[in-house]
Amino acid sequence: MVTCDKFTAGSDGGSGKSEYLRDKCYATKGTKNLFESSDAFINYVVDVMQIDPRGLEIHRIDNGGHYEPGNIEFLTKLEHVNVHVEMRVASEV
């Protein structure tokens, strides 16, 4: 399983189909995990992004997009909090 912030994303038990993230507020927004499997996610992070995500949090670059190749990055807790504070401030302007 791939841990994403306070919720979990992953495959649907091995059938190879992606599933909605298991957090009601995200599922109702339609945010999906578009990686085909946990292995596909791991391979993308290790081989393409070339990052060790241990101790980091996953973040969607385009908050309106899905968890998919090209739309994820890994941030420290502080960086992640700062991004969300900046997004909140920008939406209040």
Asked if pLDDT for residue 2 goes beyond 70, the answer is no
Q: What is the pLDDT of residues 47-93, one digit of tens each?
A: 999 999 999 999 999 988 999 999 999 999 999 999 989 888 888 87
Q: Report the pLDDT value the prediction gives residue 67, as an integer from 0 to 100.
A: 94
- Tell me phi and psi for residue 21, to 5 degrees: -65, 150
Asked if pLDDT for residue 4 goes beyond 80, the answer is no
83: three-class secondary structure by DSSP: helix
Burial class for 53, CB neighbours closer than 10 Å (0-12, 13-18, 19+): middle
Q: Outline where 1-93 has alpha helix (H).
A: 24-29, 38-43, 77-92
Contact 2, 8 (CB under 8 A): yes
Q: What is the pLDDT of residues 7-47, one digit of tens each?
A: 444 444 544 444 434 444 455 568 899 999 999 999 999 99
- For the chain, the structural domain boundaries read 2-92
